[in-house]
Chains A and B, each alone.
Chain A
Amino acid sequence: MKIVAGYILLLGTAYIVSSLIYLIGNIAKVEIGIPQLLPADVGMVFYFITVGVLYNYAYIKSREEISKASLFIALTMSIAIMVVQAINFIIGFIDLFISSARVEAIYNLTRIEIILGILSVPLLIKVRKIIYE
């Protein structure tokens, strides 16, 4: 259980920290960190904060009992944006044939939402039983 809680905290923090770096960079008009590891736009910042809040809420509650609903929604949202970016990658790949977007398309596979989404999959598999019962 402790491992699961730690993992939730890690994921939630990653979403929120990444959003905060983006916001600070945006306000200060400087580039902080690697752009691939930050949300792509303000809409995604909002998305990341929501997911981060849900993960952290699930973590805080984990001292009593993990908030299954928050965790389930956070996991679904993590994986959903990963899937959307994966589709982005596949469609972007079509660009290969008509433009020089090859590097950009492959680069998209290393985006933070893909990494965090992939990290959420084993957690969903592990806690699937807790969530459904």
Chain B
Amino acid sequence: MACHEVPSNTKIKVKQRSVIVGIIGNPNVGKSALFNKLTKGKAWVGNWPGVTVEKKIGKINLGEASVEIVDLPGIYGLTAHSQDEIIARKFLLEEKPEIVIQVANAVNLERNLYLTIQLLEMNLKLIIALNMVDLAEEEGVEIDIHGLINELKIPIIPIVAIKGVGINQLIETMIEQIDKPIPSFKLDYGEEIEEAIEKISKLIGSSMRKLDFEVDSRWLAIRLLEDDNDVVEQLKSRGLESIIRESKRIKDELEARFNKSVEVLMIEKRYHYILSLSKKYVKRGPARKSLTIFTNKLDEVLTHPIIGLMIFVSMLYLLFKLSFDIVTPLTELIEIFFSHYVYNLFKTSFLPEIISSLLADAVLNGVSVVLIFIPNLLFLFLGISFLEDTGYLARVAFLFDKWMNKLGLSGRAVIPLLIGFGCNVPAIMSTRVLGTDRDRRLAVSMIPFMSCSARLPIYLLFTLIFFKENQIIVILSMYFVGVVTAIITAILFNNLLFKSQTVGYVMDMPPYLVPSAISVLIKSWERVKSFLIRAGTIIVSLMVVIWFLSITGPEGYLGAEALSNPELLSRSWIASFSKLLEPLFKPFNWDWRIIASLIFGFIAKEVVVSLLAVLYSAGEQGLSSVLLSSFTPLTAYSLMTFTLLYTPCMATVATIKTEIGLRHTLLIVSYQLIIAYTVTYAILLIGGLII
């Protein structure tokens, strides 16, 4: 827990209590930078209840008060259209934070004031942290902060979050505000609308108690006039249909009078007010050092349809090089340490055979499967967080938006999908950069079809034996099959599962900034830690289950030797299960040994090759002659396709489960098995007709 010293000139004592503070703001205004400065990097990440949007919480001590700081998702308004807006509003209504800090961008203050008005209308104790005042100054933007404070009657603190400027003053203000009353705010919507608001407020009056949250009846009336689905549903579930009916009647009357939607009228009023504030308190002079001009010039190149694409591919190459190529020695080091030193230590220990095998073959293998990913994940997330904080990812999203929109995704999804070619685990974790839960689920459903590097040894083995002449073309065809299946999956899922959830969104182009090293490090570490804790436990448990099913069989305990002895392994539960599945794979002409290899391929796809060698009683060198006698080029190709499409490795499955929940994981795994079976069958049928 981080502890801030209460600034010495603070006269108000904070009593011993716990306080909740919410940090809110538009996307890319520096919320996370402020959150990190306030919590001094000591925070934990969870999920918002029921969804998989990250929830960051940090605790600090202010005097005698324990303050819980919650970083809310970036939003433009509180109209509950997108999931982020729903989460933020639910938090503000139900958790009733004592203080809400709105981080606003001083360079574009007007754009941030819409959210300010909505927050003030909710009767919250608001503090505005006016961020990037240094950049605003360079841009020639002059803000009359005192004038704005007098107008809005809320504290406004100029800060530069990334450099830590103004943070002490902000903390001081937070302490002062804790016990102060909430100032009232009322935006005048004009005589007719005000009359309507009052009528509906009176109607709501005594029914307020029936609601889940305490809220101002005026706010509720405004929301009803704006056709807020969430509020309507709340009222319906409490049997307050009469209020909905009456407010609809009032709204219809107003619309008939103005010949315009009430929602539009109210939005216009808010913007009119923002414009008047801007005219009075924001002055734009000549820029001293214009970041906007520089940003626009960079955008001309970075979002250029050809040069921009070339730069993006190059950046992706750099990211791959950093996270898959360069870290190989580190991964090998971990692998050697575990599979050699520690493994032998357990194996030669004085413990009984079953215990030492459990520790070495199951637990240790599970732990090393988890730890092997750390260097890749850490470097990949360092790269992604760096690009995210510079503002480059927003440009990538823009570059690919048109294409990805056709699949029902935002442009940002292109990055996780491409990372999937390296490894599916970090790809699934990097879907966290996607704004909505729906986008994440759709992208996660596509990623397992991206042929990861672990599947390459299988392709190499089979193409070397059966397609020596056309090795590259056959391998490329695997990638092609993967991509086409992913696209079909996106179209299918988008139309069947997520159609009703499509949400329009605003794409914000933040200015290019040099990221803060601490912010990048914290963000990356949080993501790696989340994988270690959550996916790690699932992987180790699954490893133990597979180990147990391999060393035992219908005859009982077979001994740890079964893991390397094909004769013993053929009497295990895994073999029995594979034999049970044999009729299912009869059309493919696959015997139980291939099925068992595929089951073990669930641990890691690379294992398929070495297990085929063990089960066919051939060394890896002699495997080619065994395979040549058991497979034809067509059955080999069908096995390659099945390996590409069937359920991904358990690290990927565990990551999917922790990222988007069990239900969707089961759906994806079953869907993949069906697709793999169908496509393989189709290949065999069509191939059989041609050849």
Contact = CB atoms under 8 A, between A and B. Distances in A.
Interface of A: 43-44, 46-47, 49-51, 53-54, 57, 67-70, 72-73, 77, 80-81, 84, 87-88, 91-92, 94-95, 98, 101, 131-133
B389 to A, nearest CB: 14
Interface in B318-338: 318, 320-322, 325-327, 329-330, 332-333, 336
A47 B317 CA distance: 8
Given A69-B300, A91-B326, 15 more contacts: A46-B317, A47-B314, A47-B317, A53-B310, A54-B301, A68-B297, A72-B298, A73-B301, A80-B318, A84-B318, A84-B321, A91-B330, A94-B333, A132-B289, A132-B294
Nearest to B383: A84
Interface in B258-302: 289, 294, 297-298, 300-302
B311 A91 contact: no
Contacts of A95: 329
B310 A98 contact: no
Which of B294, B314, B320, B326 has the most chain A CB atoms closer than 10 A to its own CB?
B314
Contacts of A44: 317
A49 B330 CA distance: 30
Contact of A73 (B302, B330, B332): B302
Which 4 A-B pairs rank lowest in CB-CB distance, beginning with the nearest?
Answer: A69-B297, A43-B317, A47-B314, A50-B310
Interface string B304-317: 00010011011001
B329 A91 contact: yes
A133 B289 contact: yes
12 contacts: A44-B317, A47-B314, A47-B318, A54-B311, A68-B297, A69-B300, A70-B301, A84-B326, A88-B325, A88-B326, A91-B327, A95-B329
Contacts of B298: 69, 72-73
A70 to B, nearest CB: 6
Contacts of B327: 91
Q: How large is the interface on B (under 10, 10 to 19, 20 to 34, 35 or more residues)?
A: 20 to 34
Nearest to B316: A43
B320 A43 contact: yes
Nearest to B287: A133
B605 to A, nearest CB: 23
Contacts of A73: 298, 301-302, 311
Contacts, number: 70
B313 A46 contact: yes
B318 A81 contact: yes
B157 to A, nearest CB: 28
Contacts of B325: 88
B318 to A, nearest CB: 6
A27 to B, nearest CB: 15
A94 B301 contact: no
A114 to B, nearest CB: 14
Interface in B483-534: none
A107 B512 CA distance: 35
Interface string B350-361: 000000000000
A44 B298 CA distance: 23
A18 B289 CA distance: 37
A92 B328 CA distance: 9
A46 B314 contact: yes
A92 B301 contact: no
Nearest to B296: A69
Given A70-B301, A98-B333, A50 B311 contact: yes
Nearest to B294: A132
Interface in B425-472: none
Given A70-B301, A73-B301, A50 B322 contact: no
Contacts of B326: 84, 87-88, 91
A50 B318 CA distance: 13
Contacts of A88: 321, 325-326
Which of A44, A47, A49, A68 has the most chain B CB atoms closer than 10 A to its own CB?
A47
Contacts of A133: 289
Contacts of A50: 307, 310-311, 313-314
A110 to B, nearest CB: 17
A94 B289 contact: no
Nearest to A45: B317
Contacts of A87: 322, 326
Nearest to B336: A98
A68 B333 CA distance: 43
Contacts of B322: 84, 87
Contacts of B307: 50, 53-54, 57
A131 B512 CA distance: 13
A57 B314 CA distance: 17
Contacts of B301: 54, 67, 69-70, 73
A67 B297 CA distance: 9
Interface in B64-81: none
Contacts of A81: 318
A90 to B, nearest CB: 9
A47 B320 CA distance: 12
Contacts of B311: 50, 54, 73, 77
B310 A46 contact: yes
Nearest to A48: B314
Contacts of A94: 329-330, 333
Contacts of A53: 307, 310
Contacts of B289: 132-133
B76 to A, nearest CB: 28
